[in-house]
Amino acid sequence: MVARTPEEFRAKQQIDVRTFHEVIGIETRERRVRVVDRKTQNEAWEAYDELLMATGAVPLRPSVPGADASGIYGVHTLESGIRLRKVLDAQQPRSAVIVGGGYIGLEMAEAFLLRGMRVSLVDKAPQVMGTLDQDMARHVARALTDRGVHLYLDEALEAFAVRNGRVHAVITSQRTLETDLVLLGMGVAPNTQLAKEAGIPLGERGAVRVDRRMATEVEGVWAAGDCAESFHRLTGQPFYVALGTVANRHGRVAGTNMAGGDARFSGVVGTAVTRICSLEVARTGLQTRELEGLGRPFVSQTIESHTRAAYFPGSGTIHVKMLADAATGVVLGAQIVGQEGAAKRIDVMATAISAELTARQVSELDLAYAPPFSPLWDPLIIAARLLAKKIQ
Amino acid sequence: MVARTPEEFRAKQQIDVRTFHEVIGIETRERRVRVVDRKTQNEAWEAYDELLMATGAVPLRPSVPGADASGIYGVHTLESGIRLRKVLDAQQPRSAVIVGGGYIGLEMAEAFLLRGMRVSLVDKAPQVMGTLDQDMARHVARALTDRGVHLYLDEALEAFAVRNGRVHAVITSQRTLETDLVLLGMGVAPNTQLAKEAGIPLGERGAVRVDRRMATEVEGVWAAGDCAESFHRLTGQPFYVALGTVANRHGRVAGTNMAGGDARFSGVVGTAVTRICSLEVARTGLQTRELEGLGRPFVSQTIESHTRAAYFPGSGTIHVKMLADAATGVVLGAQIVGQEGAAKRIDVMATAISAELTARQVSELDLAYAPPFSPLWDPLIIAARLLAKKIQ
C-alpha cells in the first residue's frame, strides 16, 4: 500500500484518498486495518506496509449535569467553527459563558465581544492562560476585564441548568450565570481510542508513545500530530502539546521515515503565541510551575518596557519575564505580554533556549534597533541583563 | 577626576558636566587634556585618571566642485535635523536630490515624499542599501520607484551647479538634475582628529583601535561609540559600524572598566534594521560581498513568503535570504525585506549566528505560530530548510 523507498514513492505519486472511510480497528501483527465505508456501511480489511496514526485530539468535555444539553459549543474542527458562526448569525445570542481560560477560550471571548455580546469566562484555576506564570497572566486578565469580559476565576463548573433540553445557565461553585450560549474551551486530549484497542503503547498524557523518528513501539506503526507525544528539549522528557506547528513537524519526520528516509524530531521548547484583542501573548521554555515541579533552582526577572522607541507612533507596553538556571544562568523560559510588536520576540528566546545561551549571552546579543521596531535596548536585552545579575 | 572603583563612583555620584567646553588636545603621558571654554575662549590644562574618547563620527562630504554651496544638507546630529526641518517649513522646496542610497538617504527620501516633494536619489553603486545583497536591494529599489522616487544608480556625483552661492542642480556622470535642495547621505567616518594628534593608534577604517575592554593602546585612554572600532563575532576581526546600539554597548563596557569593573565587549554580528515607507529592511551577519572578500565558500537561499497567515488581514510579502558555510552549514548571514512584521525576525538570525547554529538547526527551531504573526512555517524556517539541503 505504502511505498517503502523514496523511489517507490516517486514511482507511485498517486495518493489514494478515500473520504467517508473510517478505520475502526487495527491488527498490527497482520499489518491490516478494518475500514468501514460510511456511505454503504460495508466493512473490509486492508493491508498496510507502514501505518501512520494521525487521529488528532478530541476536546475535553465536562462530566457535570446538563453537559449534553443543546446550546453548548466547542471549536475543535473547522466544521465546529462554521457551525457556531451559523448559530451566532441565526440566533443572535446576546450573552455567552466560556468555560476555560486557555487559548481557545480567550480567542473566542474576543470573537464574542466583537459581536457585541456580554461575555463571562469561568475557570477553576486562579488565573487565565495557565501556560503563563500568574504574574504575567494578570496582564491578560486585566486586558479582558478592561474590555468588559466578566472573569470568574477559582470557580469550578458544577452544572449546566437546562430548560427544554437547552442550556440557560452555568452553575459554578459560587454563582449561577444565566446565558444564551456556552462555549467550552477546556483543552484537548489525544485521540487514541484506536491505538489503545490495538495495543499500541501510550505515554505522556495518554498520547501515542513514539521515538524521535515518530515510530511507535509497534513495528510498522508511526504516529504524528495531536495524537502523538513530543519531547521537550529542555528536559529530554516526553511532552504533550497540541499545536499546528508541532503536528506539521511530526508529519515531516514520520513521512520521511515511512518513505525510507531518516529524519529525527528535534523536540519542542514549548513555544506558543496568541493575540487577544490587541494584546499579544507569547511563551517559550519552562514556566515557574514546571521548574518547581522539576525541583530545578532558578531565578527570574520581570520588566516593563516599550515595543518601539517610546516616542515613536504606535509604541506600546511590553512585559517580559525571563527565567534562568540559578547556577549556570542558562535561560530556561520566557513569557511576553504586550501591545502590537511584542509577541514575535519570543522566537529570539526559543532560539536562545535551543542554543542553551545564558542570560548574560542573551544580554549581549546584537539585536536590531531602529525607532519603529524597538527601544534602543530591546526589552529582551533589558530583561536578560537584570536576570544575569541574579546569577551567583 | 574620575572614580576608580564602583564605590568611589557611588560616593561621588555628581558628574561635572560642562557645556561649551571643548577638548582641543590630549597629552596622554601627562594624563591631561587641553580644554577651551567656547564662551570665554579661555584655555586650561585639566588632569585625568581615565579618559574616554567618545567623539562620535563625522558625515562624509564629497570633494567635488560646488560642495560648499548653500542648500546642501546633512542629518548627522539632532541640530542638523532640526535645521533641515526649519528650512523645509520655511522655504517649502518642491524637489530634492539625495546623494547616497544608504539608511539616511532612504529614510530622508521617505520624509521628503511625505512632504509631497519630487525626490531623486543618486548613488555611484549599482544598488541602494549596500549592506544588502544586490538581489535583496532590488526589492527596496522597486519600493522606492513605486512610490515615485527617481533612482539614478551607477552614477557618480561629479559636481554641484551653483548660482549665487546656492546649489541649483546635481551633476552626475550621466545627467544634470535640477533641484531646490540637496541631501547628503554618504555615510560617516570616525571622528578621530584628536586621537590622531595625541598619537592614539587607529585601526579599522580609521577608528580608534581598542581591545575588548574598550581600552586603547595608550594607558588610561578608552574609546567608545562611533569613534571606536568594534570586532565582528563571525570573523574575529576588527569591524567598524556606526550604530546607536553598538555605541551604547561600547559605553557600558568602557564605563564599567573605567570605574574599576571588568567588562568585555561581545562584538557585533552586523545587525541593522530600517523602515522605508511601509517596507521593512533588515540584515545581520555577513553578506555575499563580505563572504567573497573573505574567500569563504558559502551557499545561499532566497525565499518569498508571508508575514502572517496568507489569509489573515494585514498579511504581506516577506523576502528572506540566508547564507551558510558551504561545508558546515553554520549560518553566516541573513537579509529580510518585507511588509509590516517582517524585519524584527532578523533578531532570530542574529541569535542563531551568535550561537553558531547550522541551517538545519534553524530549520528545526520551535518558533511561534498563530495566524496574526506568521504562516504555519515561519519564513525563516522555510529558508533554513531549503538552505540546509544545499549543504553537502
pLDDT tens, residue by residue, A200-210 = 999 988 999 99
- What percent of chain B shows pLDDT beyond 90? 93
Backbone angles phi, psi at A204, to 5 degrees: -50, 120
Contact check, Cβ <8 Å, A348/B343: no
- Which chain A residue shows the shortest CA-CA distance from B373? A344
**Cβ neighbours around B388 below 10 Å, total:** 21
- Please give the grid coordinates belonging to residue A244: 499546528
Instruction: Name chain A contacts of B369, Cβ cutoff 8 Å.
Output: 243-245, 273
Instruction: Name chain A contacts of B306, Cβ cutoff 8 Å.
Output: none
- Which of A151-155, A371-375, B74-78, B92-96 is predicted least confidently? B74-78
Owner of C-alpha cell 515595543? A307
Instruction: Name chain B contacts of A333, Cβ cutoff 8 Å.
Output: none
**Looking at CA atoms only, how far is residue A4 from chain B in angstroms?**
22
**Looking at CA atoms only, how far is residue B39 from chain A in angstroms?**
33
Q: Each residue of A347-381: pLDDT tens digit?
A: 999 999 999 999 999 999 999 999 999 999 999 99
Q: Is the pLDDT of residue B26 over 50?
A: yes
Distance of alpha carbon A355 from alpha carbon B131, whole angstroms: 27
Q: Give the nearest partner residue to A365 out of B344, B354, B376, using CB atoms.
A: B354
Determine the angle formed by the axes of helices B103-114 and B134-146, rounding to 10 degrees: 10
Burial of residue A35 (number of CB atoms within 10 Å: 0-12, 13-18, 19+): middle
Q: Give the nearest partner residue to A373 out of B244, B266, B273, using CB atoms.
A: B273
Q: Give the nearest partner residue to A244 out of B244, B270, B369, using CB atoms.
A: B369
Backbone angles phi, psi at A134, to 5 degrees: -60, -40
Backbone angles phi, psi at B111, to 5 degrees: -60, -40
Contact check, Cβ <8 Å, B273/A369: yes
- Please give the grid coordinates belonging to residue A257: 521515515
**Looking at CA atoms only, how far is residue B370 from chain A in angstroms?**
6
Q: Where in chain A is the domain with CATH 3.50.50.60?
A: 6-49+192-258, 59-187, 272-388
Determine the pLDDT at residue A4: 56
- Please give the grid coordinates belonging to residue A265: 524530531
CA geometry: angle at A377 spanning A372 and A383, to 5°? 120
Contact check, Cβ <8 Å, B366/A354: yes
Distance of alpha carbon B169 from alpha carbon A73, whole angstroms: 70
**Domain A6-49+192-258 is in which class?**
alpha beta
| Alpha-carbon torsion, ordered B214, B219, B220, B221, to 10 deg | -50
- Stretches in chain A below the pLDDT threshold 70: 1-14
Determine the pLDDT at residue A392: 74
Distance of alpha carbon B306 from alpha carbon B319, whole angstroms: 8
Q: Give the nearest partner residue to A269 out of B355, B361, B366, using CB atoms.
A: B366
Distance of alpha carbon B267 from alpha carbon A2, whole angstroms: 52
Distance of alpha carbon A89 from alpha carbon B10, whole angstroms: 66
Instruction: Name chain A contacts of B268, Cβ cutoff 8 Å.
Output: 366
Determine the pLDDT at residue B9: 58
Contact B38, B132 (CB under 8 A): no
* CATH 3.50.50.60 is right for the domain spanning B273-388: yes
Q: Under CATH, what is the fold of the domain B59-188?
A: FAD/NAD(P)-binding domain (3.50.50)
Q: Under CATH, what is the fold of the domain A59-187?
A: FAD/NAD(P)-binding domain (3.50.50)
Instruction: Name chain A contacts of B366, Cβ cutoff 8 Å.
Output: 233, 245-246, 267-271, 284, 350, 354
Contact B73, B181 (CB under 8 A): yes
pLDDT band (50, 70, 90) for residue B1 = very low
Q: Give the nearest partner residue to A275 out of B280, B343, B370, using CB atoms.
A: B370
Q: What is the DSSP letter of B198?
A: T
Q: Is the pLDDT of residue B3 over 90?
A: no
Contact check, Cβ <8 Å, A347/B367: yes
Contact check, Cβ <8 Å, B271/A346: no
Determine the angle formed by the axes of helices A346-354 and B346-354, rounding to 10 degrees: 20
Distance of alpha carbon A270 from alpha carbon B378, whole angstroms: 16
Q: Is the pLDDT of residue B17 over 90?
A: no
Mean pLDDT of B99-128: 96
Q: Best residue in A276, A357, A366 to probe B by mutation, most B CBs within 10 Å?
A: A366
Determine the pLDDT at residue B291: 98
Q: Is the pLDDT of residue B328 over 90?
A: yes
Contact check, Cβ <8 Å, B378/A266: no
**Looking at CA atoms only, how far is residue B65 from chain A in angstroms?**
35
Instruction: Name chain A contacts of B246, Cβ cutoff 8 Å.
Output: 366
Nearest to A322 by CA among A330, A338, A333: A333
Distance of alpha carbon A337 from alpha carbon A318, whole angstroms: 6
Average pLDDT value over all residues in chain B? 95
Contact check, Cβ <8 Å, B274/A370: yes
Instruction: Name chain A contacts of B376, Cβ cutoff 8 Å.
Output: 244-245, 248
**Looking at CA atoms only, how far is residue B63 from chain A in angstroms?**
30
* Cα A209–chain centre separation: 19
Distance of alpha carbon B229 from alpha carbon B334, whole angstroms: 23
Q: What b/e readout covers B93-116, taking b as 16+ CB neighbours within 10 angstroms?
A: beebbbbbbbbbbbbbbbbbbeee
Contact check, Cβ <8 Å, B273/A248: no
- Which of B13-17, B153-157, B358-362, B378-382 is predicted least confidently? B13-17
If phi > 0 it is left, if psi is from -120 to 50 it is alpha, else beta; for residue B116 that is left
List, in order, residues 6 or more apart from A91 with CB less than 8 Å away.
A180, A181
Determine the pLDDT at residue B8: 64
Contact check, Cβ <8 Å, B369/A282: no
Q: Where in chain B is the domain with CATH 3.50.50.60?
A: 6-49+192-258, 59-188, 273-388
Q: Give the nearest partner residue to B354 out of A344, A366, A369, using CB atoms.
A: A366
Contact check, Cβ <8 Å, A372/B275: yes
The SS3 of residue B341 is coil
Sheet holding B176-178, edge to edge: B157-163, B166-172, B176-178
Determine the pLDDT at residue A8: 64
Owner of C-alpha cell 484518498? A17
Contact B210, B330 (CB under 8 A): no
Helices (H), B276-338: 288-294
**Looking at CA atoms only, how far is residue A91 from chain B in angstroms?**
27
Higher pLDDT, B5 or B250: B250
Q: Give the nearest partner residue to A245 out of B246, B347, B369, using CB atoms.
A: B369
Contact check, Cβ <8 Å, A343/B249: no
Strands A331-338 and B21-27, how do they pair? unpaired
Strands A188-190 and A182-184, how do they pair? unpaired
pLDDT band (50, 70, 90) for residue B14 = low
Question: What dotted CATH number matches A272-388?
Answer: 3.50.50.60
- Which chain A residue shows the shortest CA-CA distance from B264? A364
